[in-house]
Amino acid sequence: MGKIRAVVLLSGGVDSATTLAMALSEGKECHALTVDYGQRHRREIDAAERIATSLGAAQHAYLRMDLRPFATSALTGGGEVPRHRAPEEIGQGIPPTYVPARNTILLALALAWAESLEALEIFIGANVQDYSGYPDCRPEFMSAFEEVIRLGTRQGAEGRGEIRILTPLIRWSKAQIVKKGVELGVDFGLTWSCYDPTERGEPCRGCDACLIRAKGFAEAGLPDPLIS
């Protein structure tokens, strides 16, 4: 019996890199998918390529789908990225870095590829404990999308096996994710998290993504190789 084939959404950040490493550690044949949706932090796309190569994905596909004309977000140039928010603010309400329907679109693209590959699993590094208030990272959303898959795919309609969405990090803290990634050999120096890099191409250290990342490494008791 061959390996279970899976599509893994790979953004280039800590969570998606660890998710890919976990899927590979389970013996899955992993096909990584990275999407350029017009995000200002495109450096993560290069990071995704390095991660896919480093961890040994079977294939890494890159797709450009510019959402900027109709998906207003601070991540696509529609306003300023919040900086230096207090820990209690992060996760309270939906921030301006929310990209309308982003995970719906990314999962739909991953699903199209999974059907073509006859893959039975889609991995996404969604996380709710340390996330920044994104509604499409919640378990309820993932469960609802699985129902969409069941009702709207050939595999589901013909009963040839349901495609599952796997979110292994959904309730983990960032510290747990960092520790797991290190255990599995993820080189976090290859990853990228910052929403709004400086002109020198360095992490701003003030956006939600930078603050959450810093907190995760600190609580894990490990240095962040990206800034050390």
Of 222, 142, 209, 132, nearest to 180 (Cα)?
Answer: 222
The pTM assigned to this predicted structure is 0.95
* Count of residues making up the chain: 228
Kindly report the backbone phi and psi dihedral angles of residue 104, in degrees, each rounded to the nearest multiple of 5, phi listed first: -60, -45
Q: What is the pLDDT of residue 87?
A: 81
* Burial status of residue 138 (CB atoms within 10 A of its CB: 0-12, 13-18, 19 or more): middle
Kindly report the backbone phi and psi dihedral angles of residue 76, in degrees, each rounded to the nearest multiple of 5, phi listed first: -115, 20
Q: List the chain domain ranges.
A: 5-220
Q: What is the pLDDT of residue 37?
A: 94
Mean pLDDT of residues grouped by 10 in the chain (228 residues)? 90 97 98 94 91 98 93 88 87 87 97 95 88 84 95 82 94 96 98 92 93 96 91
* Burial status of residue 124 (CB atoms within 10 A of its CB: 0-12, 13-18, 19 or more): buried
Q: What is the pLDDT of residue 1?
A: 57
**Tokens standing for residue 54:** 């480093």
CA distances from 212 to 49, 121, 136, 207, 220 (A): 23, 28, 18, 9, 12
* Burial status of residue 64 (CB atoms within 10 A of its CB: 0-12, 13-18, 19 or more): exposed
Write down the CATH superfamily of domain 5-220.
HUPs (3.40.50.620)
